[in-house]
Structure 1
Amino acid sequence: MPRHTVWVLPLSVVAFVMVFLLILAEGDVRYVLRVLTRQDSSITDVEWKQHTSVRAATAPRPWPRAAGDCPIRRSLPTQNAQSIVVIHDGMLVCEWYGNGGAPDRPAAAFSVSKTVISLLVARAVADGTIGGLDLPITRAVPELSARDARFSAIRLGDLIDMRSGIAFSDDISFPWVDRDYPSVYYATDLAGTVVRRPRIASPPGPFTYNDYAPNLVGLAYRRLTGTLLTRQPLQRLWDDLGAEHPAEWCVDDHGFPYHESGLVVTARDLARIGQLMLDGGQVAGRQVAPGAFLDRSLDPADREPVTTFAGIGVGYRNGWWILPRGDGGRDLAAMGAHGQIMVVSPSTRTVIVRMGDDYQTNIQIAATLQRLADRLASVTPG
């Protein structure tokens, strides 16, 4: 065989594969290149993704600090972490930073973003900006029912609870570009993607963790109000919380937010979201999280496990994972890829945020934080 044909054949195969992938991706070259070059997500993706910014609160409220040494400092899970913040009884008990982390350095929260989106929607419902969670998604996105009439049965609350009946897979095997997970995470036109790609798997009801869902909620909000959840609504939340530091939200090439994963935030300010769940939704006597959001998140009804991680059955509602406790109680957790974990423990009055890169599975890290909260409560008067 002539030497030059050894090179021509591989190039022709590469060209064929690229054309094949472009056809699957409807000609979106930037999307194909992202999928091929980036592959799996990373905590460094915030360095290349575009983003919008949220300023610190007009009147920041620094965390009050507990007196004395932190009794659990030596037990903090610092491996691969960038930041760990422990709040007990509304006070900053201890914090740890390393591997480039710092008190004022925001980090990618990944799917913890879904919890914040749920809160923003609840605030919009409470102030009358949008209708309730029973609003059909097709009221705002009628193109869905034009594709499949079954979309008309899906309500905003179904999307927030991951019970929409929309199919979703996190598979990233060949041919990559036509898979659900990368089509959302690497989308160049995310709003268009979530109108065109989702498919109905069942009537609303069964749990399917789904990255289309929060983006459909965000698209509905934009259609209904003419603005984005991650702009004025997020800024108002940041002001109401008394956030100490700016935050960011990653957006696609058209400025549409990645609602499922885009939040970039400091651990200190993320902990404020958790503290709302322990303070009746209030900050300095002002209602920041609506009562309906608290009731929907904390109500013991419908808390049966919906899936199992490493042998631990967990529930999911209102953007929160429901973690079982050994005493029969429940804790809340917001969990994002690569070990972004916030555990909220009502029984121990504790919020723990851990951000960085992963070293165990998310459920293992969450269980570690639960044990730390129990230990802290056992050695702290109150």
Structure 2
Amino acid sequence: MNNFEDLIEKEYSNIAGIAIRKDNHLIYEKYFDGYTQDDALHIASVTKSIISILIGMAIDKGYMKIEQHVLDFFPNYTVKRGEKTIQNITIANLLSMTAPYKYKSEPYTKVYSSDDWVKAALDLLGGKGSIGVFNYSTVGTHILSGVLTTATGQSVLDFATENLFKPLAIKAPTNTTIQNKEDYFAFLKDKYVTGWIVDPKEVNTAGWGLTLTTRDMAKIGQLYLNGGVWNGRQILSSQWIEDSTKVQSRPGKLTYGYLWWILDDCYAALGDGGNVIFINPQKKMVISIASRFMPRAKDRVELIRKHIIPLFE
């Protein structure tokens, strides 16, 4: 154990916390660099997997269907003349990253400096690419927040608080705004950050921007491992868990579900900097790792497979 913790401090110096659950119990929890169990961190693209859960809940409640066209939720959106592809893109395409876009590299600044991020993302959707080809997009994922808001009549945060955070006894974050590039980088790099980023229309981000504690992340992993049951209550259908964690698209040699990465017999929510919710159904283990922002962070899946699972299985 000492060797393991030394390894984390020496080779994975941006890790703030690790929590491990096995057989429905928290069996290990350790914090580094002055962080505690109460400190939230920006979980980066792990936010995408939380949005997948919320979409699943909205489908369970009948607010939408997986094969519905995205534009069904934006009746006032004007499609440009000659645009046909966008009209055929479905919720499933956004979730499986198989929607085409009109850019070669993601125009983060253009979207995040606009006064309506959902519309800015919709303006990029479609084009000449083919529907069904894997095309990872963070700005495009924000459209799903717009869909959730329209379909449920609630803000993403309110819907998440009522249906996910409260049942799991997770302290709901507050809305946080970024006004400029400096705010954005501060949110990424400051040691202590809280909240959930909202755009100027108060729509919460879907591709990044949520903060959670290491324990919160482990609870969400446990919810999936439990087939959607928490404290005896079914809060997410087992069907959604099955659908979202089976192969829906294939990025190269990797496989992808509905905003979850499929890793052989395991699956994971993966975020930049080394934020992870890793679920191993066979060993009934959930491993959550919260990390400070760091470019090109060392591979956490390798850490989990090589060092964590053998130590705790």
TM-score bucket of the superposed structures, by smaller chain: 0.7 to 0.9
Q: 1:144–1:73: structure 2 CA closer, same or farther, 3 Å change rule?
A: farther
Aligned to 2:93, what secondary structure does the other structure show? helix
Report the equivalent of 2:177: none
Deviation at 1:199, TM superposition (A): 4.1
Aligned ranges for residues 298-337 of structure 1 at < 5 Å? 298-299=245-246, 302=247, 305-307=250-252, 313-324=253-264, 330-337=265-272
Whichever residue aligns with residue 289 of structure 1, its letter is L
Relative to structure 2, which stretch is displaced further, 363-372 or 284-293?
A: 363-372
User: How far, CA to CA, are the matches of 2:5 and 2:22 in structure 1?
Assistant: 13
Question: Residue 20 of structure 2 contacts residue 28 of structure 2 at CA under 8 Å; is this kept in 1?
Answer: yes
Aligned to 1:241, what secondary structure does the other structure show? coil
Deviation at 1:374, TM superposition (A): 2.8
Deviation at 1:100, TM superposition (A): 4.0
User: How far, CA to CA, are the matches of 2:308 and 2:38 in structure 1?
Assistant: 24
Aligned ranges for residues 220-259 of structure 1 at < 5 Å? 220-243=147-170, 245-247=171-173, 248-259=195-206
Q: How far does the alpha carbon of each residue in 1:88-136 deviate from its partner, in whole angstroms, 9 at most, with x for none?
A: 22211212212242211111011111100011011011112x1211110
Relative to the length of structure 2, the TM-score reads 0.82
User: How far, CA to CA, are the matches of 1:103 and 1:338 in structure 2?
Assistant: 19
Aligned ranges for residues 142-221 of structure 1 at < 5 Å? 142=75, 143=77, 145-146=79-80, 148-169=83-104, 171=105, 180-185=107-112, 187-221=114-148
Question: Residue 167 of structure 1 contacts residue 198 of structure 1 at CA under 8 Å; is this kept in 2?
Answer: yes
Relative to structure 2, which stretch is displaced further, 354-363 or 343-352?
A: 354-363
Alignment identity in percent? 23
Question: Residue 86 of structure 2 contacts residue 125 of structure 2 at CA under 8 Å; is this kept in 1?
Answer: no
Q: How far does the alpha carbon of each residue in 1:54-76 deviate from its partner, in whole angstroms, 9 at most, with x for none?
A: xxxxxxxxxxxxxxx89965555
Q: How far does the alpha carbon of each residue in 1:191-221 deviate from its partner, in whole angstroms, 9 at most, with x for none?
A: 2312333342423201000123321111122
Report the equivalent of 1:344: 279
Question: Residue 149 of structure 2 contacts residue 203 of structure 2 at CA under 8 Å; is this kept in 1?
Answer: no
User: How far, CA to CA, are the matches of 1:96 and 1:168 in structure 2?
Assistant: 42
Deviation at 1:277, TM superposition (A): 2.0
Q: How many residue pairs are counted as aligned between the two chains? A: 288
Whichever residue aligns with residue 317 of structure 1, its letter is G
Relative to the length of structure 1, the TM-score reads 0.68
User: How far, CA to CA, are the matches of 2:19 and 2:78 in structure 1?
Assistant: 42
**Greater Rg over alpha carbons, structure:** 1
Aligned ranges for residues 61-72 of structure 1 at < 5 Å? none
Report the equivalent of 1:136: 69
Q: 1:135–1:272: structure 2 CA closer, same or farther, 3 Å change rule?
A: same
User: How far, CA to CA, are the matches of 2:84 and 2:151 in structure 1?
Assistant: 21
RMSD of Structure 2 on Structure 1 (CA): 2.6
Deviation at 1:185, TM superposition (A): 4.9
Higher relative contact order (CA 8 A, sep 6+): 2
Aligned to 2:204, what secondary structure does the other structure show? coil
User: How far, CA to CA, are the matches of 2:162 and 2:307 in structure 1?
Assistant: 32
Report the equivalent of 1:8: none
User: How far, CA to CA, are the matches of 1:349 and 1:288 in structure 2?
Assistant: 19
Unaligned regions of 5+ residues in structure 1, if any? 1-68, 172-178, 308-312, 325-329
Unaligned regions of 5+ residues in structure 2, if any? 174-194
